[in-house]
Amino acid sequence: MTRAAAAFAGLGVDRVLEPPGVLPQAALRLDPGLPARPGELVVDCERLQVDSVSFRQLREEGGDDQAAIGRRIMAVVRERGKLENPSTGSGGVLIGRARRASRARRIPRGTRIVSLVSLTLTPLHLERVLEVHLATHQVEVEGHAILCRAFPIAVAPDDLPLGVTLAALDVSSAPAQLARLCRRGDRVVVLGGGGASGLLCLALARERAQGGTLVAVDRDPAMLDDVRRAGLAHHCVQADATRPIDCARAVARATGIVEADVVVNVVDVPGTEMASVLLCRPRGTVMLFSMATSFSDAALSGDGLGRETRMMVGIGYVEGQAALAMRLLRRHAGLREVFTRRYGARH
Ligand code: NAP
């Protein structure tokens, strides 16, 4: 193998079956076959955290029938060698145990790890789906994944339940990205603030935007109750982010804020780009983390307002994201309590 070919092998190019010449993310089919190749880590999968947008679509298609959702997941993975929902293009992450020790990654055999790359580019083979948990979007499975040399992982901590670790690490790039955007005194609005990434972003903003104002917006009152109980926001506003005028009015009425410095969009439905821009001050920052974001809707949403906004695509990998999410969970008792209640039960 040439040196260039060896470097690309670390990215999983040699696991692409079709079309030739693309990276695993863009591939139609990956090869999850064994044995492992040099530099690869084989993980015996225990559980998948399916991306929120993808899981919503699977639920709608399967009519909330766990068995139907499980069959659909099996079919996608069998056909594509990875879990990339063909309707939403999104994946999730996995937790499992290293089948062998890895000197390069400095982990012994059996270490429980979470993949920090999306399931949309991870070679995956499933023997069976054991159980689908509707409330947490987590799926217990038997099978294996191949983590190529360049794919980042996090070692799961011993002091947190498996489900909590998985849920938090799935969206851990959100607070890590926000940490680079949020300043002392900022007014921060989080759309979808009661969800997993919303709660982590609010906890991060409590630390970074000291002296500022934190607003959680969600359409689900139960999710907002959790934010309130955890003490993570100054204001909780029940509103539908797909209705931009109503949403902005509700925020202004409840908080007095007409234009925030930073707006974080972590909802899991389409059609919320305009509300994000409307709620943000000119030259403020909108972080579009939702996988349901439309580039064209986002790009064009400022035109009619005559407003220049700094828009950030939510990125899936940020250095130090796993350690930051774990630190937030340990430091904020309220956040940990909500995560443990939602994701920490055995099921
Ligand atoms: P989640 O836990 O399901 O939270 C989403 C929250 O948004 C829920 O509380 C939901 O309420 C609320 N919501 C839905 N529609 C709304 C609306 N119209 N107005 C106001 N609130 C609304 O999701 P998550 O796991 O935190 O994920 C959030 C987003 O991050 C998803 O879009 C996911 O795809 C994305 N994500 C992106 C990346 C990346 O790399 N960019 C990585 C991972 C995840 P209900 O309970 O009523 O649904």
Three-state SS across 86-135?
Answer: CCCCCCEEEEEEECCCECCCCECCCCEEEECCCCCCCCEEEEEEEEEECC
Question: DSSP secondary-structure letter at 328?
Answer: H
pLDDT at 294 over 90: yes
Closest residue by Cα to atom 14, ligand 1, is: 267
- In ligand 1, the atom with minimum distance to the C-alpha of 269 is 15
Q: Is the CB of 55 under 6 A from ligand 1?
A: no
- In ligand 1, the atom with minimum distance to the C-alpha of 171 is 43
Of 139, 170, 201, which closes a domain? Answer: 170
Same domain membership, residue 144 and residue 16: yes
Q: Is the CB of 266 under 6 A from ligand 1?
A: yes
Of 149, 170, 191, which closes a domain? Answer: 170
Same domain membership, residue 280 and residue 164: no
148-193 per-position pLDDT tens digit: 999 999 999 999 999 999 999 999 999 999 999 999 999 999 999 9
Residues 6+ positions from 247 with CB-CB distance below 8 Å: 191, 217, 239, 240, 241, 275, 278, 279
Q: Are 153 and 147 in contact (CB under 8 A)?
A: yes
Q: Is the CB of 172 under 6 A from ligand 1?
A: no
214-242 per-position pLDDT tens digit: 999 999 999 999 999 999 999 999 999 99
For the beta carbon of residue 56, count every other beta carbon within 10 angstroms: 17
3-class secondary-structure state, position 70? helix
344 part of a folded domain: no
* Structural domain for 70, as ranges: 3-170
- CATH of residue 266's domain is 3.40.50.720
- In ligand 1, the atom with minimum distance to the C-alpha of 316 is 40
What element of type H or E holds 181? none
Q: Is the CB of 173 under 6 A from ligand 1?
A: yes
Same domain membership, residue 149 and residue 136: yes
Residue 347's pLDDT band (cuts 50, 70, 90):
very low
